[in-house]
Amino acid sequence: MKLRRLLPAVLLGCVAVQAQQRAPEIDSIKKEQLRADLFFLASDGMQGRLTDTPTNRLAAEFIAARFQRLGLTPAAPGGSYFQAYDLMTATLGQSNRLAIGSTPARTPQDFYPLRFSATGNARGSAVFVGFGITSPERGYDDYRGDVKGRVVLAIDHEPGERDPNSPFDGVVTSEAGGQLRKALAAQAKGAAAILFVTDVHNHPGETNFDATARNYWPVQRPVIASYTLARWAEQVRIPAAQISPALAAELLTPAGRTLDELSKASETAKGTTPIPLNVVDVDLTTAVDRHVVPDRNVLAMMEGSDPRWRDELVIVCAHFDHNGADGSRIFNGADDNGTGAVGLLDIAEAYVLAARAGQHPRRSVLFAAWNSEERGLLGAWAYTEDPIRPLDRTVAVLNMDMIGRNEEVPEGGGPRFRGLDAQTAESNANATNLIGTTRSASLKAAVERANAGIGLTLRLRYDNNISQLMRRSDHWPFLQHGVPAVWFHTGLHPDYHTVDDDPERINYEKMEKIARLVYQASWDLAQQSTRPSLSTSSHASSPAGKQ
């Protein structure tokens, strides 16, 4: 009887020990190799790896060549390491006009078309639609009425944008509040066009709308272009424009309403009913020329050994692009995100060495080097729009972005450190931030178990913070599609996004520990029979939605 009572406990103890065994070949991840790779990838010769440049393409070729040399399976369509997708840039056409009734508006003083706008003309009566959000997963809808053939007026952002308890991702700006998403929602409801205006109750004060418009459509080509996914933009078939608060006031005056009044009234838990402004007709013509730019991710696979689970994926990922060069000023992006990219290579090599020694992951592991993260997480978004396997077969995503420094926030650091407490690099010498854990307690627990043999300090503090860090790296698109995902991030520092982000400044010992942690966690996730689950709704949707 005693033996029978003891046996379950012994078995459970064996399972716990097995779950925390060191991943095979973990010691092959070494700071010396990480350093050598980073001094190449973040060298001046790579010119900052900016999207749509020869050195960005060279970086992709370098990563693919390493995957090939390791003998990893190409994971993109057609037996390639390159997952191709298209970006889009836009230039302003010649015929952009807006009239409120018989009164023409001025451009750029009163309005400007948005980059994702379709080219076309729309004429119809105006309807105010609050924030213009449709979010069924939250039970929220600003279109509880007919807007077919109308020109809708929506305010920017989302309800409760400063409320940590807002269902719209707390104080983190949600995808539902984005303008492209709102335009598609209006289009799906039958609107002829959409106009946007500042939510003045949250963002009061005079704005220089003319200057904003000129910055949005600069006369000179900018050093860094603005991109979106072509797949998203191609879904937009209606004109879309931004108008000034002053012009919005003119639009609302005949109806006896004010913008401030309507904006405040839009702060509801479930949405609003459209308010017709039938006394006013709007005539909008937009001309936006779209330009397709090819782009690509780099994908490689270690196939799982267990036939029950090999069709499921654990994704280990990092982006490899950065912000390029401006003449002699080169933004090498050593920490952001050369560190994550070379960490990915060493983790992939550890898997290969383990397989050669006869130890294979039970689930498949996808090694993904995303492109164009700095342009809006576009490589990761492109993958979620066209995954190599259905996303419900992705067990977890472990994302590395900036894993080579100590977080350092100076006193009075300015807007780039908004929402972050002042702290010294020394106070974070052994720490890394783990972002996204509030969405999956079980994934958080898996990383904590993996860390037992590594000994890093895991800081869990930025999931609901006005810094917007939660949505600023490649784990975010996966969370929007309901996939458990976390971001390993050693934090911002004064060299972030400057010409001083160089490989000489990296803490390679710490970087080695983080890469080993990610490897250990990914190995555990690939081996265990259970898979992480979401703790709370990830409000799954892409910016383009499924209209």
Provide the residue type at 131 as one letter: F
Reply yes or no on whether the pLDDT at 211 is more than 80.
Answer: yes
Same domain, 110 and 165: yes
DSSP E strands: which ranges in 205-248?
228-229, 240-243
Any idea what the CATH number is for the domain that residue 164 is in? Answer: 3.50.30.30
Q: Per the domain annotation, does 250 fall within a domain? A: yes
Same domain, 497 and 385: yes
Residue ranges making up the domain that contains 488: 46-88+292-401+428-527
Instruction: Please state the three-class secondary structure of 312-344 as a single string.
Output: CEEEEEEECCECCEECCEECCCHHHHHHHHHHH
Instruction: Answer for the pair 194, 154: CB distance below 8 angstroms, yes or no.
Output: yes
Q: Taking the CA atoms of 522, 525, 526 and 528 in sequence, report the sign of the dihedral they define.
A: positive
Same domain, 251 and 322: no
Q: Per the domain annotation, does 535 fall within a domain? A: no
Q: Per the domain annotation, does 534 fall within a domain? A: no
pLDDT at residue number 205: 76
Q: What is the mean pLDDT of residues 521-546?
A: 76
pLDDT at residue number 9: 38
Q: What is the pLDDT of residues 328-358, one digit of tens each?
A: 999 999 999 999 999 999 999 999 999 999 9
- Give the CA distances from residue 201 to residues 44, 155, 162, 205, 416, in Å, rounded to whole numbers and listed in that order: 47, 10, 12, 9, 24
Reply yes or no on whether the pLDDT at 16 is more than 50.
Answer: no
pLDDT at residue number 206: 63
Last residue in a domain, options 241, 260, 286: 286
Same domain, 257 and 297: no
pLDDT at residue number 280: 80
Q: Per the domain annotation, does 203 fall within a domain? A: yes
Q: Is 44 exposed, middle or buried (0-12, 13-18, 19+ CB in 10 A)?
A: exposed
Provide the residue type at 283 as one letter: D
Same domain, 217 and 143: yes
Instruction: Answer for the pair 173, 161: CB distance below 8 angstroms, yes or no.
Output: yes
β-strand 313-319 against 364-370: which pairing, if any? parallel
Same domain, 103 and 208: yes
Number of structural domains (the chain) is 2
- Distance between CA atoms of residues 345 and 342, nearest Å: 5
pTM of the predicted model as reported, rounded to 2 decimal places: 0.94
Q: Per the domain annotation, does 416 fall within a domain? A: no
- Give the CA distances from residue 522 to residues 238, 315, 517, 519, in Å, rounded to whole numbers and listed in that order: 44, 8, 8, 5
Same domain, 257 and 193: yes
Q: Per the domain annotation, does 378 fall within a domain? A: yes
Same domain, 388 and 278: no
- Distance between CA atoms of residues 57 and 281, nearest Å: 49
Instruction: Answer for the pair 395, 532: CB distance below 8 angstroms, yes or no.
Output: yes
Q: What is the pLDDT of residues 396-430, one digit of tens each?
A: 999 999 999 999 999 999 999 999 999 999 999 99
- Distance between CA atoms of residues 80 and 83, nearest Å: 7
- Distance between CA atoms of residues 431 and 433, nearest Å: 7
Any idea what the CATH number is for the domain that residue 346 is in? Answer: 3.40.630.10
Q: What is the mean pLDDT of residues 267-278?
A: 94
Closest CA to 199 of 269, 134, 116, 267: 267
pLDDT at residue number 301: 98
Instruction: Answer for the pair 543, 232: CB distance below 8 angstroms, yes or no.
Output: yes
- Distance between CA atoms of residues 408 and 427, nearest Å: 9
Same domain, 323 and 180: no
**Crossing angle, helix 508-527 and helix 441-451, to 10 degrees?**
120
| Residue 279 confidence class, pLDDT cut points 50, 70, 90 | confident
Query: In percent, how much of the chain has pLDDT > 70?
Result: 94
Q: Per the domain annotation, does 14 fall within a domain? A: no
Query: In percent, how much of the chain has pLDDT > 90?
Result: 91
| Residue 538 confidence class, pLDDT cut points 50, 70, 90 | very low
Q: Per the domain annotation, does 511 fall within a domain? A: yes
Same domain, 483 and 378: yes
Last residue in a domain, options 286, 314, 333: 286
